[in-house]
């Protein structure tokens, strides 16, 4: 998927290296969030060890640099979860967040999802508007299972058996 020279592609260790790690670390620093190489944040250092093949995507700049990322997991029972949607500040406002989100929705639907969920820190208000624009609805609040108990909103998208979003 490509537009304006930006591409959304599956993560490849040889090509993208620690690009997702650098993106998430930069966004966490921007918001003053703690970030660590081990445990809770290890999935963005080695996406290939935490996500099924092809289920962790990156957004590349026209120069081939990783400027964003997103992941998808199968949680069982027809429920899938969107993880780690992050974009560097310079990459925002170009439609990349929506492209990454819609690609994960497509992948989940093709994998037979009945429900797609995500959790997002309460500080990411712009992302919350994006999720709602893409068809998610805010459905709950939680304290995240991270070491610092972040406050998060939960979002959900339900699918009909035909593969269309439920209304």
Can you give the pLDDT at residue 167? 43
Q: For the chain, which domains are there?
A: 2-158 (3.40.630.30)
Residues 120 and 141 sit within 8 Å (Cβ to Cβ) = no
Would you say residue 163 has pLDDT above 50?
no
Lowest mean pLDDT among 31-45, 72-86, 92-106: 31-45
Can you give the pLDDT at residue 55? 98
Tokens of 117: 């969920």
Can you give the pLDDT at residue 36? 76
Q: Distance between CA 107 and CA 84 in Å, rounded?
A: 15
CA dihedral 128, 134, 135, 138 (to 10 degrees): -10
> pTM score, two decimals?
0.91
Over residues 108-138, the pLDDT tens digits come to 999 999 999 999 999 999 999 999 999 999 9
| Residue 105 exposure: Cα atoms within 13 Å on the Cβ side | 20
């Amino acid at each position: 998927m490509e537009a304006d020279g930006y591409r959304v592609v599956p993560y490849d260790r040889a090509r993208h290296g620690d690009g997702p790690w650098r993106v998430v670390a930069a966004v966490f620093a921007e918001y003053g969030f703690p970030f660590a190489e081990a445990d809770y944040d290890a999935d963005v250092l080695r996406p290939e060890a935490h996500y099924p093949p092809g289920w962790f995507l990156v957004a590349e700049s026209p120069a081939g640099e990783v400027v964003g990322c997103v992941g998808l997991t199968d949680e069982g029972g027809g429920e899938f979860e969107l993880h780690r949607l992050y974009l560097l500040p310079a990459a925002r406002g170009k439609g990349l967040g929506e492209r990454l989100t819609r690609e994960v929705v497509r992948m989940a639907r093709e994998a037979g999802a009945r429900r797609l969920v995500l959790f997002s820190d309460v500080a990411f208000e712009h992302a919350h508007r994006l999720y709602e624009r893409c068809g998610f609805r805010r459905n709950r609040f939680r304290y995240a299972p991270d070491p610092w108990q972040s406050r998060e909103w939960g979002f959900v998208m339900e699918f009909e058996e035909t593969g269309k979003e439920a209304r």
